[in-house]
Amino acid sequence: MSSSTSPPRRRGALLPAVVVVVVLVGLVVAASQVVTEYGWFSQLGFAEVYTTRLLTQGALFAVGGLLMAVAVLVSLRVAYRSRPVYAPVDAESANLDRYRESLEPLRRLLSVAVPVVLGLFAGSAASAQWEQVLLFLNAEPFGAEDPIFGTDVGFWVFTLPFLGFLISFLTAVVLLAGIGAALVHYLYGGLRLQGQGPRTTTTARVQLSVSAGLLVLLQAGSYWLDRYSTLTDGSGRFLGATYTGVNAEIPGRTILAVIALLVAVLFVVTAFRGSWRLPALGVVVMLASAVVVGGVYPYVVQRFQVDPSAQTREAPYLQHNIDATRAAFDVDTTEVTNYQASTQAEAGALRDDAETTANIRVLDPAIVQPAFQQDQRQRQYYTFSDPLDVDRYEIDGQVEDAVIGVRELDLSGLSGGQQNWVSTATIFTHGYGVVAAYGNQRGEGGLPAYFQSGINTPGALGDFEPRIYFGQNSPEYSIVGAPEGTEPREVDYPTDDEGGDGVANNTYSGDGGPSVGSWWQRLLYAVKFQEQNILLSDALNSESQILYDRDPRERVGKVAPFLTLDGDPYPAVVDERVVWIVDGYTTSNEYPYSQRQTLQDVTVDSQTAGLTGSAAAAGQGAQTLTALPPEEVNYIRNSVKATVDAYSGEVVLYAWDEQDPVLRAWESVFPDALTPVSEMSEDLLDHVRYPDDLFKVQRSVLGAYHVTNPAVFFQNSDRWQIPDDPTADVPEGVRPPLQPAYYLTLQMPGQEDPAFSLTSSYIPSSDADASNILTGFLAVDGDAGGGGAGQVAEGYGQLRLLQLPRNLVINGPGQVQNDFDADPTISTELNLLSQNNTDVAFGNLLTLPVGGGLLYVQPVYVQSSGGTQIPRLQYALVSFGSEIGFAQTLDEALNQVFGGDSGATAGDAGAGGDAPVTPPAEGGGGTPAPSGAQEQLAQALQDAQAALQAGQQALADGDFATYGEQQDALSEAVTRALQAQGQVDAATGADATAQDGSTPAPTATATATAPAEGTAGG
């Protein structure tokens, strides 16, 4: 019999090897992230931001983690080493024996692991407070004192949050260390809950009493700080210290702080005297005082002193809230005008508003994006952001409002054969060019009237760098660049040059990204993007750069992490470059007495929700606008204007509001990150506009805080709200989101000259459906240019509020839209246009304070209901008082409303349309038509409406024979209507009023009929 033996297996060798490999991989990945991020910031010139943030977070992590770990470790060691040599012999100790025996093998490990784990959590919590710590260390005075303590507001914004965090953190350290010590003392007999004799050893008594004393001392500090926190308390009817807060809560917390301090002393005394009776009694007194002084007494004051006379008692404190809120949101200098609006449309009423009338925008940037897309995209791999943006440009010596879009790269448009890494990362790398159209004009066939169009063609904007490497739709990353003399490989733009392949190629020559010219740089980025081709591809060379983080908002957010960024970056052609302009806000939630606003709630509207324009028509929320994050603030400033060069990716942060204390604090932290506004070029200032999101926050604040009388404010009798957007495409029964603010060039009452402005209107506030009548109109001067390089225009940022008479009914946007929908002439005409596979869409409903009243203007578009959808501007709707105008041009519609002559000329004067125009309904404005022709016309329209409804019913019933008959009847009725229209025009001489010889559609009054099928709104 024989036996064989095998060598012993090395069972423990594999696990250490796996651990080593995992650790090495983790270190490589972490190193790649740190090194590549540092390279990205350095390339942009913002390495200081990255290193300062990284070092601050690292220092806080180390200090916080070590403080927690050392405190817990020392506490556990002291408790264990001072354990009794002989454990008490009693039932309680006997029950603990088995736990001690179980823990003993793990004791050394646990005594280290527990502090380390707690230290990691504590370090993470501390490092997350890096912004607050830096602001505390670089605090700046606000120059304004609170009304209760007489302390500078900067104490609440910079100092109080840090002190609150510090006390909370130290409380956690002391509490966890004390709990750990108590557990060890209890487990090893130093602390007993039962039995005869002393309950604690001397060491346990000293250690636990000191821990308890420190906890109570920290609680005393918390009570003391809570006195100041009363001014930022939002639990009452309004934010800030009320009568009860000032007269009961603040004194009560002072008393509690003193009591807690005395109890802390009693615990220290116990450490030496050995009796727990006094501190225990002190704790009972402190808890009872917290209930009585902190709860019962404020309740009694509120219930029996304040509530019976609340309006009188709270008046001075409510005034503090009003004043602080208006100051914190920068609305305290709003110019308020009592606007005695007229509702009578008289001939020549717009003569004094001729310049405003000429600039009324009829092109809706939220609707015409598909027209830009189909007309100007050129290739399937280009796209335009949706919605487009509104800006202004000087064309032939005249400043014109413009709708502008950037032709960006869209990799999803590449064919299947082009969807490979080489194409998407190294060949298709950028967009090309800018397209811009007049905002106040209508082009041929209802398309936009472009002044900058085509690709690689001259335009009114002159010569500029057209290549778009950084934009809102740029790829995640692109690898560009090559040595001089290398044949270009990047697709630049389509061309028809003979002998080519249909495109011109180009090599990137800018400095837009970190280098990937060496093997180790390729390795780092291959790890970062988890893409092996970056390391292996021969498309990379010694001059290659990698462009990433290319969205302007994302790019600015990385170099300025202390800013909240506006949701609508916009492009502008500035100094022969295309740049993105991004507005940045500094915010705080700790301004005393200022009412808080939730940024997301007040900046969401129909455009950010994707419920207007082409995105809504396509049934998708593909828009690039975003609402602000869901954070609460009670202080905000537009402190920074940032630019991102679309070619080089260069980021410049201009210190726009140099008086903002929060920005000054950040300038102390990052002294090289910000550029003075004095270095802004004149061309850039001409394109700086007032930010949309800030205006939406301010209009929300002014909805309540236009009232400055505390008695009226308390009664809540004059609160306003933003109207719902009547053009939003929402399901029936669902409340539409808010109406957006609109950029317009207009001259407000009392304003010397027209200015590029941001506007919004107000209606009464109500928990139920609000009464849709106008109560106010708000505009802000958004023109920053005109003063030269580095000089911000004097009127920029001036808010102007028109308060309408309470005894005058002026229709709000919802009611005006309803009147448009219900008008028989308009609804019939639009229903006819909705046939033959077309849809009708209402554009933005603009409100303008002109002619001594309020004028509403709305463009009407027609587009295909399927397939290729190109919205074409067909009509303009106008409302003033009870008069409605409906014509193919805004100029004609204005003349209809204002007695045949508005007194001014709109920008689209002379731009005729192709669609037939219907006559006025009975009772409308304009010259009455002969009764015979008018009766024939009315009968024809009624027949057309009847045939339309009968045909739709037949189609629904599947009766195609009857449907065909009704379509024939509809066609015949339309023919009769057009013939009658001609008779009406011939008899009234209506042709003479149209500047281009086309027939204007007369005014119609509103009656109750169904709105046009396929329209938005209503």
Q: Residue 898: what are its φ and ψ, rounded to 5°? A: -100, 55
pLDDT by residue (tens digit) across 129-140?
999 999 999 999
| C-alpha to C-alpha distance for 667 and 640, rounded to whole angstroms | 11
Mean of per-residue pLDDT scores for the chain:
86
Tell me the pLDDT tens digit for each residue of 804-847: 998 888 999 999 999 999 888 888 888 887 776 788 889 999 99
User: Hey, what are 765's tokens?
Assistant: 């506030």
3-state secondary structure of 735: coil
Residue 704 has a pLDDT of: 96
What pLDDT band is residue 986 in, cutting at 50, 70 and 90?
low
**Of residues 936 and 490, more confidently modeled:** 490
Question: Is 264 buried (19+), middle (13-18) or exposed (0-12) by CB count in 10 A?
Answer: buried
Instruction: List the Cα angle 449/917/853 in 5-degree steps.
Output: 75
H helix runs in 82-201, sequence order: 91-103, 107-127, 130-137, 154, 160-187
- Check: pTM over 0.75? Answer yes or no: yes
Lowest mean pLDDT among 153-157, 558-562, 821-825: 821-825
Residues 168 and 218: their CA atoms lie apart, in Å, by 8
Mean pLDDT on 695-699: 97
Which of 479, 397, 384, 480 lies closest to 436, judged by CA? 384
Cα radius of gyration rounded to whole Å, the chain: 36
What pLDDT is stored for residue 92 in this prediction? 54
For 610-662, how does the pLDDT look when each residue is reduced to its tens digit (9 = 90+)?
776 655 554 433 456 788 999 999 999 999 999 999 999 999 999 999 999 99
- Containing H/E element for 546? strand 545-548
- 847/723 Cα distance (integer angstroms): 12
Residue 988 pLDDT more than 80?
A: no
CA–CA distance, 459 with 299 (Å, rounded to integer) = 72
Contact 399/392 with Cβ under 8 angstroms? Answer: yes
* Side chain identity, residue 367: I
Greater pLDDT, 581 or 28: 581
